[in-house]
Amino acid sequence: MPYTCVILRSAISLTLHWGEVNYNAVRAMSEKANKTRTVSVKIEGRVQGVYYRAWTEQTARALGLDGTVCNTSDGSVEALFYGPVGKVEEMLKLCAKGPPDARVTKVTVIERSGSVAPGFRVLGTNWY
């Protein structure tokens, strides 16, 4: 009988241990999912006239991000993304490639604070 009791105690201990690990992992994923990130991005290269803004809008909306995208007078594209950390990170990786005809040479990311207006919009060219 004592042997059975030791096994039972070990099984209970293992179950509690795994339960704690799973709970902590779920809690960590949930906390990360609830965190948001706001970034402004400048994408350089052959990014105008290649459907980059429309592609950005479609991709950002599919990821559930808020923000804007516009052409600039220097030939680059600027975007503002707001949403869950993981989705913003995914969008940044996708921006480095862009749509099929784009040739991205540089992506500059600047962390911002706060949120943006809901939805995602394409803006006119930013002539500054």
Residue 5 lies in a domain: yes
Residue 26 lies in a domain: yes
Residue 26: which domain range? 1-34
- Mean model confidence pLDDT for the chain: 81
Of these residues, 9, 53, 103, 112, which one is catalytic? 53
Instruction: Write out the two tokens for 41.
Output: 């991005």
Looking at the 3D structure of the chain, how many domains does it have? 2
pTM to 2 decimal places: 0.73
**Residues 67 and 95 sit within 8 Å (Cβ to Cβ):** no
Q: Which of helix, strand or coil describes residue 17?
A: helix
51 and 109 share a domain?
A: yes
Instruction: Write out the two tokens for 40.
Output: 């402004």
**pLDDT at site 49:** 93
84 and 25 share a domain?
A: no
- SS3 breakdown of the chain: % helix, strand, coil, rounded to 5? 45, 30, 25
Q: How far apart are the first and last CA of the chain?
A: 83
79 and 58 share a domain?
A: yes
**Residues 52 and 125 sit within 8 Å (Cβ to Cβ):** no
Q: Is 71 a catalytic residue?
A: yes
Asked if residue 27 has pLDDT above 50, the reply is: no
Residue 109 lies in a domain: yes
Residue 128 lies in a domain: no
Of these residues, 24, 61, 71, 103, which one is catalytic? 71
Asked if residue 73 has pLDDT above 60, the reply is: yes
- Name the H helices within the chain: 2-34, 52-63, 85-95
- Condensed to tens digits (0 to 9), the pLDDT of residues 52-64 reads 999 999 999 999 9
